[in-house]
A and B are shown apart, each in its own frame.
Chain A
Amino acid sequence: MSERPTIGYAGMTHLGLCSSIAAASKGFATVGFDADAALIGRLEAGQLPVVEPGLDDLLRDNRSRIGFSADAKRLTQCDVIYVAPDVPTDDAGRSDLSSLDRLLDHVLAHSRPDTVVVVLSQVPPGFTRARQRAERLLYYQVETLVFGRAVERATLPERFIVGCPDPAAPLPEAFDTFLKAFGCPILPMRFESAELTKISINCCLVASVSVANTLAALCEKIGADWSEIVPALKLDRRIGPHSYLAPGLGLAGGNLERDLATVLRFSEEHGTEAGVIASFVANSAHRKDWALRTLHEAVLAEASDATIAVLGLAYKENTHSVKNSPSLALIRQLGPWRLKVFDPVVPASAAPHPAAAGAKSALEAVENADALAIMTPWPQFRELSCAAIARAMRGKLVLDPYRVLDGAAAHKAGLDCRTLGVS
């Protein structure tokens, strides 16, 4: 192939949208397809339905190379088409693959026979091989989207992991040209290995977080401070500087939970031991209640008419997603108390509470509150003055699981600050 291939993305979800804009940023003509004409209209107008640092700028800078369309005929222009719809999960982390299957059929029906079709959505082992068709080029590629860091992950990938019908055979030229443009290692492997690689990555991340949670909980009881321990661990080459060692409020977002559920289901089907995965799930469930337990023990056990302020509704900073959000999980249990909430992106109406009052700012939310819970570590919350919080609040208790506030300043302001991993 002498010319640069045209790259298509079917499914303008968080994954598909960020990946398509990243492809355009590498100089490829790109088509973003979605059957939802209203969504396409908003995208054409430059209105992005997701919050990701740098994404608006990246789209603006590469607008000439990307076209959004609800017309499947546009897919015939594409040499490579990524199929990237969201795969919804239920409360137990089980995937509903029906929408992915429908979109895959649609793409195969509306693309050229020589077009490389790549499944980019997260799928269980065995999915891609089961959908191989004669005379069609179907591959699987691991997505490593991180909410809040999607632009960085899509434009500067660490490596590409590609599931292939024959890992020893060279990749089709158009696909190979596109992947090589990112200048990172390409790891072809059999379908099942690639599908399990994605799950393996997430299991390793969950293992690190579970260790952090387990030992941070111990720190809270014995006078230790987990934040003092973490640098020592990261300087150990066997653990590494980028390891996931920040304690948290349980797994959220849906993807990690989905992978744990998939491993448990497969191990049950095949009779392999997976007790450690069940322990990760139990650890996450226990940690999710940290804020509820701490609030009850410190304030609610003796206050029947307390006002609680919650800062942050999103499941983590720099995202609009509230899937399995620890903040919403806490709010759901605060029915009997008055509640004031503020999130820079998520509206107060997302709070599952009969009488949640939305505030226009963080400081307005904490006014006259008996307790404050900073449930999402949005960067702007780090700018809050502890003295101003102390003046505005009626009580002194601040749940600051992620250490958003300066501990010394909070102490000086007279706040009773509770943080994950520190006594």
Chain B
Amino acid sequence: MLTHQNASPVAPKRVVVVGAGGFVGSTILKELADAGVPTLGLTRREVDLLASSGADALKAALKPDDAVVFVSAVAPAKNAAQMMTNLRMAEAACVALAAAPPAHLLYISSDAVYVDDANPVTEKSAVAPSTTHGMMHAARELMFRSEYRGPFAALRPTLIYGARDPHSGYGPNRFRRQAAKGEPITIFGEGEERRDHIAIEDVARLARLILFHRSSGALNAVTGISTSFHDIANIVAAQFTPHAEVKSVPRPGPRPHLLHRFFDIADCYRAFPDFHFEPLADGLARVHRETRVQ
């Protein structure tokens, strides 16, 4: 649940995006720039949080009335080493944020922080991750909450799709790329797992709203509608001429115990009553158009 410091939206003086070179960070940067907000995008080139000078470099970049979006990560954190790398980055950021505290901090986390059997997932669901990736985000949230004393918000996106997503994880992005190459779209088993997918632009818009309201607390970046991989594959397949083939392949592992994941987004309705998510079919059609232009 979010608590707004600004009941009415007020543009921050400046927003510093740490991790501005990535898919999520760059989209948030663009969203803010489009809204006329002064921004400073930091990539590893400007501030390497794994270098010994990382904390000092970030500290030097910060002003007291900045809002900071921390989205820098080596993702996904699939093993202990990658998890620890990410925690070291957050440790350096905590040193900088404690020494030069900004006016507001937004951390882009993940819905992987929640316990697997929460249903429907809400912001009140237990934070009990079952993966190193989820534990990394949960630990980073805790680190920032402990070390930074100002208003702190965690935005927890679910599966994100977008035209410029560099990852090809199982889902819309991989399906689109398979079809574009003339290959069959492959789904595991019958693709019956239902998941929530959110457009990157909606994640960026939520981030902007949190920054403008100087909110604290947690919010899931989810649409509240879960769709099966089978249905998503067929939506993507129908965007190509001729339609791409959708092919079932054996699951790489056992069928998951909990097949589906649903979210209750009442907290989002409360926090941002007039925010509207882009429906998945519309978003996938838009992404298809954008990738063809590219």
Interface of A with B (CB < 8 Å)? 282, 285-286, 289, 292-293, 296-297, 300-302, 304, 333-337
* Cβ–Cβ < 8 Å partners of B265 in chain A: 293
The 9 closest A-B pairs by CB, nearest first: A289-B266, A336-B274, A336-B273, A296-B269, A301-B276, A333-B270, A292-B269, A292-B266, A304-B274
Q: List 7 A-B contacts (CB under 8 A).
A: A289-B264, A293-B224, A293-B266, A301-B276, A304-B274, A333-B269, A336-B273
CA–CA, A296 and B181, complex, Å: 39
Partner of B273, one of A285, A286, A333: A333
* Cβ–Cβ < 8 Å partners of A301 in chain B: 276-277
* Cβ–Cβ < 8 Å partners of B266 in chain A: 289, 292-293
CA–CA, A297 and B224, complex, Å: 9
Q: Check A293–B269 contact: CB distance below 8 A.
A: yes
Query: In whole Å, how far is B124's beta carbon from the nearest beta carbon of chain A?
Result: 8
CA–CA, A211 and B214, complex, Å: 40
**Further pairs besides A293-B264, A301-B276: 15, Cβ < 8 Å:** A282-B124, A286-B120, A286-B122, A289-B264, A289-B266, A292-B269, A293-B224, A293-B265, A293-B269, A296-B269, A297-B224, A302-B276, A333-B273, A334-B273, A336-B274
Query: In whole Å, how far is A87's beta carbon from the nearest beta carbon of chain B?
Result: 27
* Cβ–Cβ < 8 Å partners of A302 in chain B: 276
CA–CA, A420 and B246, complex, Å: 38
* Cβ–Cβ < 8 Å partners of B270 in chain A: 292, 333
CA–CA, A262 and B277, complex, Å: 40
Within B252-294, the residues touching A (CB, 8 Å) are: 264-266, 269-270, 273-274, 276-277
Query: In whole Å, how far is B144's beta carbon from the nearest beta carbon of chain A?
Result: 27
CA–CA, A335 and B122, complex, Å: 22
CA–CA, A296 and B124, complex, Å: 20
* Cβ–Cβ < 8 Å partners of A285 in chain B: 124
Query: In whole Å, how far is B190's beta carbon from the nearest beta carbon of chain A?
Result: 20
* Cβ–Cβ < 8 Å partners of B224 in chain A: 293, 297
Q: Look across to chain B and name the residue whose beta carbon is closest to the beta carbon of A335.
A: B273
* Cβ–Cβ < 8 Å partners of B264 in chain A: 286, 289, 293
Query: In whole Å, how far is B125's beta carbon from the nearest beta carbon of chain A?
Result: 10
CA–CA, A300 and B273, complex, Å: 9
* Cβ–Cβ < 8 Å partners of B120 in chain A: 286
Query: In whole Å, how far is B114's beta carbon from the nearest beta carbon of chain A?
Result: 14
* Cβ–Cβ < 8 Å partners of A286 in chain B: 120, 122, 264
* Cβ–Cβ < 8 Å partners of A304 in chain B: 274
Q: Look across to chain B and name the residue whose beta carbon is closest to the beta carbon of A295.
A: B269
* Cβ–Cβ < 8 Å partners of B273 in chain A: 300, 333-337
Query: In whole Å, how far is B273's beta carbon from the nearest beta carbon of chain A?
Result: 5
CA–CA, A300 and B120, complex, Å: 21
CA–CA, A350 and B122, complex, Å: 29
Q: Look across to chain A and name the residue whose beta carbon is closest to the beta carbon of B276.
A: A301
CA–CA, A357 and B220, complex, Å: 33
CA–CA, A285 and B267, complex, Å: 11
CA–CA, A193 and B120, complex, Å: 37
CA–CA, A334 and B273, complex, Å: 7
Query: In whole Å, how far is A277's beta carbon from the nearest beta carbon of chain B?
Result: 16
* Cβ–Cβ < 8 Å partners of A296 in chain B: 269
Query: In whole Å, how far is B271's beta carbon from the nearest beta carbon of chain A?
Result: 10
Query: In whole Å, how far is A283's beta carbon from the nearest beta carbon of chain B?
Result: 12
CA–CA, A313 and B106, complex, Å: 37
Q: Look across to chain B and name the residue whose beta carbon is closest to the beta carbon of A304.
A: B274
CA–CA, A193 and B266, complex, Å: 39
Query: In whole Å, how far is B276's beta carbon from the nearest beta carbon of chain A?
Result: 5
CA–CA, A132 and B124, complex, Å: 42
